[in-house]
Structure 1
Amino acid sequence: MEDLTTIDAPQSHSRNAFKAGLFSLFFPGLGQLYNGQIKKGILFFALSYLIPVIFALTRWITSFAGMSIFMAIGISFLLFTVMDAILNAKRQKFYVLKTYNRWYYYALIASLIFTMTFVFDKKEMIGIQSYIAQTTANNPTILEGDWIIIDTKAYKKNTPKIGDLVTFTKDDGQQFMYRIVGLPKDTISLKENIVSINHKLCKSKFIADRNLEGINFAEFEETFPNGHSHHIYKSKEEFSDGMMNMNDFVVPADSIFVLGDSRDNALDSRYIGCIAKNQITGKIKYSYWGKAGFKRMNITF
C-alpha cells in the first residue's frame, strides 16, 4: 500500500484589533504592518511627515485658517489610520504570520519611528511655536492667558518691521514679547508715552477710559509713520520714574527698540535696553484661545 505524506498547513492567527489600533495611534503605520499591510504602513508613515512638510513649505499654518485646516487634516488622518488598523484586524480571522510579525520587529520599528520624532522635529519643521501670554505688558492687544502662535521662521528671509510684535530672549534665557518701534539707526522719542520715530510724532486717537483690577487706564489708537495702527494703554496715574518721556535715543546698529502696548506696565527697552537682532526668536501672528474662550480666537496681530 502506498504511504500518504501529510503536509501541515500554515498556522493562522487572528489579529488583535485593540493592538492594531494602539500601534497606529502612537506609531503611524505600525498597526497596518501588524495586519500584514506593509505597503500601506509605509504609505501612512510617509504621509504623517508629508502633511507637515506641505504646510511648512507653504507657510499656511502661520494663519489661523491654515492652522485650523492643518489640525483638521491631522486629526482626521490619525483617526483614519487607527480605524483602518482596527477594521482590517477584525476582518483577518485566518491570518498567516509574516516574517516581520514578531514582537522584536515591532519594537525595532517603533523605536525607529520614535527616533524620527527627534531627528525630524515636526514643530521645528513647520516653524511655529505655541505660547501662553503670562503678563499684561501688551494689553490691550495681547491679554494675559492668551494662547498665541509665534512664527519662528518669520525673519529667515524677511527683516523685522516697525509695528511687528516679536518674541526674544535675553542673556539669562528669559523670553519676552514686545512691539518693535525702532530699527537700527532710528531716533526714538517719547512724549507722555506716545512715540516719535525719526522726529515724526505718531498719531494718537483716544478710544475710551478703562479700569482693570482697580487701575485706571486710557486706551488710545496709535498709528506709526509707516501706517501701522494698534491700541495702547496709558495709565491715568502719574509715574515718578520719568520713562513716559524720552528724547532722541538712537538705536544701535543690528538692534531694535521695543515697547509694550501697556506703556506704564512693561519691562521693555526703556528698562532692559535694546534687543540684538539675533536675540529675536519669532513674530507673533495670532491668538487661537484665551481666558475669554472663543472671543480670543482668530485675532491677528
Structure 2
Amino acid sequence: MALVCALVFVFLCRNFIFTPVKVVGQSMQPTYENQDRVIVSKIGHIKHFDTIVFHSPIEKEDYIKRVIGLPDDTIEIQDDTLYINGQKYEEPYLKQNKSQLLPNQRLTENIKIKVPKDHIFVLGDNRQNSMDSRQIGCISKDAVIGKAIFRFHPFMENYE
C-alpha cells in the first residue's frame, strides 16, 4: 500500500507540480549549457525574464528560453538595448556573450513587436544561435510547460 501511495504521489507531482527537463542545444548559453538538467515548476505565474520551457510550435521538441514580453507588451530592441513598453531594461545575462563581439557587431537585430493576447515573446540568451520568437513567433501561453527553477545537474550555486 505504501508503494502505491508513493507512486501516486510521484505521478501527481510530476504531472501537475514539477518535472525534470534536459537542456538540448546552445541557445541559452552561458545561463544553461547543452545537457544541463533543470527542474521545471508547473505552478505559479510567469513574469519578465523568467526562463521557461515550452512545446515548440514547429518541432516535436521542448525549448527553453527567456521571457522578454508578456501579453500586450510592446518589445523593442534597438542597438542591443531592450525596451519593454518604452522602458529601458538591462540584460545582465547577456554580458558574457556581448564581451565576445567584434566592434560594431550586435547580439540582436533591431526589432519592434506587440505581443498578442495570450502569448509571450521569448529569446535565447545566446541570441546569435537561438531559434526563438524572432523566427517562430510569439508562443501561446498554452504551450508553456513551466518555469525553470533549479538546475540539478551540474549543480551551480550562482543559478540565474
TM-score with structure 1 setting the length: 0.46
In the superposition, relative to structure 1, how do residues 299 and 47 fare at CA in structure 2: closer, same or farther (>3 Å)? farther
Q: Please, which runs of 5 or more residues in structure 1 have no aligned partner?
A: 1-41, 54-119, 204-221, 223-229, 291-295
1:139 deviates by 1.3
Residue 117 of structure 2 corresponds to 253
Residue 65 of structure 2 corresponds to 178
Aligned mates of 1:175, 1:46 — CA distance in 2: 30
Q: Please, which runs of 5 or more residues in structure 2 have no aligned partner?
A: none
Residue 286 of structure 1 corresponds to 150
Tell me the number of residue pairs that the alignment of Structure 1 and Structure 2 aligns: 154
Preserved CA contact (<8 Å) 1:288 1:298: no
1:231 aligned onto 2:96: no
SS of the aligned residue for 1:159 comes to coil
1:136 to 19, 22, 26: 26
Aligned mates of 1:174, 1:193 — CA distance in 2: 29
Residue 263 of structure 1 corresponds to 127
Identity of aligned residues (%): 29
1:161-204 residue CA offsets vs partner (Å, 9 max, x unmatched): 1111111113343211101111111110012333110111113x
Aligned mates of 1:243, 1:122 — CA distance in 2: 38
Preserved CA contact (<8 Å) 2:52 2:147: yes
1:29-79 residue CA offsets vs partner (Å, 9 max, x unmatched): xxxxxxxxxxxxx4x4366358x47xxxxxxxxxxxxxxxxxxxxxxxxxx
Residue 45 of structure 1 corresponds to 3
Residue 161 of structure 1 corresponds to 47
Residue 123 of structure 1 corresponds to 14
In the superposition, relative to structure 1, how do residues 121 and 200 fare at CA in structure 2: closer, same or farther (>3 Å)? closer
In the superposition, relative to structure 1, how do residues 45 and 176 fare at CA in structure 2: closer, same or farther (>3 Å)? closer
TM-score with structure 2 setting the length: 0.82
What is the aligned-residue RMSD (CA, Å)? 2.5
In the TM superposition, structure 1's runs of 4+ consecutive aligned residues that sit over 6 Å from their partners are: none
SS of the aligned residue for 1:160 comes to coil
In the superposition, relative to structure 1, how do residues 298 and 49 fare at CA in structure 2: closer, same or farther (>3 Å)? farther
Preserved CA contact (<8 Å) 1:165 1:179: yes
If each structure's strand is expressed as a fraction of its own residues, which one has the higher value?
2
Matches of residues 1-301 of structure 1 in structure 2 within 5 Å? 42=1, 44-45=2-3, 48-49=6-7, 52=9, 120=11, 123-124=14-15, 127-151=17-41, 153-154=42-43, 158-171=44-57, 172-203=59-90, 222=91, 230-232=92-94, 233-234=97-98, 236-237=101-102, 238=105, 243-247=108-112, 249-290=113-154, 296-301=155-160
If each structure's helix is expressed as a fraction of its own residues, which one has the higher value?
1
Aligned mates of 2:79, 2:6 — CA distance in 1: 53
1:274 deviates by 0.3
Preserved CA contact (<8 Å) 1:287 1:299: no
In the superposition, relative to structure 1, how do residues 299 and 144 fare at CA in structure 2: closer, same or farther (>3 Å)? farther
Aligned mates of 2:35, 2:158 — CA distance in 1: 14
User: Which protein, 1 or 2, shows the higher relative CO under an 8 Å CA cutoff with sep ≥ 6?
Assistant: 2
